[in-house]
Amino acid sequence: MPASLSYVWNIPHFSSLSCLSMYSPAFPIRAHMWKIYVYPNGNNNSGRQISIYLDSGITDNNDLPCTFKLAVVNYKKGLAPTEPSVDASINWRETIVKESDHVFTKRAKDWGFREFMPLEKLRDPQAGFLNDDAITVGVLLELA
């Protein structure tokens, strides 16, 4: 039975974060507590790219095949939303989205992108990713 979920996480005070990594609040899907985790300065702490991953929270021996999209939302004004039902403050054309397929297991419980997007672009006030010094990270998750 397919299951899908979308989850959005707002990270305030992004420009002053000093932590190596941080986890979103957990969200349940198919008996597992999923989380998004972010390395604000990259998972090698290089300061060049933000790294973003999805953690399945899997603790049993089952396989969870999945397709997911991770996104950093862009709020730059000037472009209309692609659908009338979506939030008009979000610039969907400039939002950065990366997609992956992965089979989550107890030994491979997380997956994502070491180089999600350049921090220089993310921190640029004219680029539209920082909204009142916060970024918004989202996931669309589909389990087979």
**Which domains can be identified in the chain, with CATH numbers?**
3-143 (2.60.210.10)
Mean pLDDT over the full length of the chain: 88
pLDDT recorded at residue 49 = 96
- 52-102 pLDDT per residue, tens: 999 999 989 989 999 999 999 998 865 444 444 445 566 778 899 999 999
Res. 2 pLDDT band, cuts 50 70 90 = low
* Cβ contacts of 132 within 8 Å, gap of 6 or more: none
Q: Across the strands, what pairs with 7? A: 139
Res. 5 pLDDT band, cuts 50 70 90 = confident
Environment class of residue 116 by beta-carbon count within 10 Å: exposed (0-12), middle (13-18) or buried (19+)?
A: buried
Res. 117 pLDDT band, cuts 50 70 90 = very high
